[in-house]
Amino acid sequence: MKIHTKHLAIKTNNRIEFVNITEKVRGVVKESGVKEGIVLINPMHITASVFINDNEGGLLQDFRKWLEGLAPMDEKIWKHNLTGEDNAYAHLWRTIMGRETTVAITDGKLDFGTWEAIFYGEFDGQRSKRILVKVIGE
Amino acid sequence: MKIHTKHLAIKTNNRIEFVNITEKVRGVVKESGVKEGIVLINPMHITASVFINDNEGGLLQDFRKWLEGLAPMDEKIWKHNLTGEDNAYAHLWRTIMGRETTVAITDGKLDFGTWEAIFYGEFDGQRSKRILVKVIGE
Amino acid sequence: MKIHTKHLAIKTNNRIEFVNITEKVRGVVKESGVKEGIVLINPMHITASVFINDNEGGLLQDFRKWLEGLAPMDEKIWKHNLTGEDNAYAHLWRTIMGRETTVAITDGKLDFGTWEAIFYGEFDGQRSKRILVKVIGE
């Protein structure tokens, strides 16, 4: 059994940003030497998401506008912000987008469909964050 | 360590359809010979979902109506459709419903509650699609 | 390869309640003896969720209010309730919050960020329920 762990560092320029991390994950899988197994990818932060969707700029704009509609950024409407925070919306957005993803590894590669791409969704950025990549298999 | 991979083919008659795939997943787990472990199930497409919920027809209709309310199918309101696509809504619906599920295997069986059933949620169908089933354990 | 399974029993006092189960999961990981691997945690019920977010009371109130807005509890608007049930909303809420989570185990511990906490989200409680914890690794 082979197990390989990597903590990727990330810092976005914008407060809200979608970053395609597919190639970084591929690199970790390659260095793990795992030929058959799975890889778990998750942010180590609760105002961010790792998810799989289409690498298309218009769709990423749609996601942002849609999330703003489902959970407004307006600070005054959320109790969490009474603690001095201003990022309640980010906790809710990450719930919609999901915390983590698990991807199958077959023949040493991500067992992916044509259009699957792995994204880090940052909802309260401009600070140093970490993404955990855990590879398990043989 | 036993690892078993299956790519199931699926083509729905309708553009939007929920298909109960519990028995197909059970079949893959059985042929894997894994007695203790996990099984990952995900579509290999970004306008579809694999999720676990109740096999009750009214609820499945509720899901559809609810998703239409949260992310309307109207083509004109999403930037993604400027690429010539008409399925932006499907990318958003699959985010709500989730891409994948991971299920525990105990004593050679899906370690399930009474009402848990595994569904493939197709949101832009009538084309050939694939579902990945990856079993890991011993 | 070490595999360890635990079914935790839970019964909430309220119909809707968020319960921090982080320490219980830590206990199961410790008794598993797994030093490197993953742990899968999921309810065995389809009106509940296991998710990771902030252990902050205001945010948990925000989640509830937000979910009520996205999928109202009003019994009359959902077809599922025509079966005699009154919990259609709970099936939808759990879809937003997610069924399960998978957490990495590194050096025998949950490989967690500072603020990550594991919650059981009960949306139709006051009855005996079970949470499955499956640890896999070595």
Task: Give the pLDDT confidence score for residue A24 in this predicted structure.
Answer: 98
- In chain B, the percentage of residues whose pLDDT exceeds 70 is 100
Between positions 63 and 102 of C, the ones with CB within 8 A of A are 63, 66, 70, 96-98, 101-102
With beta carbons less than 8 A apart as the criterion, state whether C29 and C38 touch. no
Enter the tokens of residue C19. Answer: 């319960």
Q: Of A56, A113, A136, which has the smallest distance from its Cβ to B83's Cβ? A: A56
Residues of chain A by 3-state class (helix, strand, coil), percent to 5: 30, 35, 35
Question: Using the beta-carbon criterion (under 8 Å), do A44 and C102 form an inter-chain contact?
Answer: no
Angle between helices C57-70 and C88-97 (to 10 degrees): 120
Residue among C137, C135, C131 nearest C50 (CA)? C131
With beta carbons less than 8 A apart as the criterion, state whether A93 and A66 touch. no
Q: Of C1, C51, C102, which has the smallest distance from its Cβ to A40's Cβ? A: C102
Task: Give the pLDDT confidence score for residue B4 in this predicted structure.
Answer: 98
Which whole number is the average pLDDT over A25-30?
98
Check CB contact of A117 with chain C, cutoff 8 Å.
Answer: no
Question: Using the beta-carbon criterion (under 8 Å), do C40 and B137 form an inter-chain contact?
Answer: no
Task: Give the pLDDT confidence score for residue A82 in this predicted structure.
Answer: 97
- pLDDT, one tens digit per residue, over C47-56 is 999 999 999 9
pTM above 0.95, yes or no: yes
Task: Give the pLDDT confidence score for residue B16 in this predicted structure.
Answer: 98
Give the confidence band of A134 by pLDDT, cuts at 50, 70, 90. very high
Sign of CA dihedral A34, A36, A38, A39: positive
The strand ranges marked E within A13-116 are 17-20, 37-43, 48-53, 101-106, 109-110
The strand ranges marked E within chain C are 2-10, 17-20, 37-43, 48-53, 101-106, 109-110, 117-122, 129-137
Interface probe with A: pick from C40, C52, C105, most Cβ of A within 10 Å: C52
Which whole number is the average pLDDT over B15-24?
98
Q: Which residues of chain C does A87 touch, with a Cβ-Cβ cutoff of 8 Å?
A: none
Q: What are phi and psi of B44, to 5 degrees?
A: -100, 25
- pLDDT, one tens digit per residue, over B81-93 is 999 999 999 999 9
- pLDDT, one tens digit per residue, over B42-92 is 999 999 999 999 999 999 999 999 999 999 999 999 999 999 999 999 999
User: What's the full length of chain C, in residues?
Assistant: 138
Q: What value of ipTM does the predicted structure carry?
A: 0.97
Residue A83, min C-alpha distance to chain C (Å): 8
Question: Using the beta-carbon criterion (under 8 Å), do B80 and A70 form an inter-chain contact?
Answer: no
Q: What is the CATH number of domain A2-137?
A: 2.60.120.460
Question: Using the beta-carbon criterion (under 8 Å), do A104 and B46 form an inter-chain contact?
Answer: no
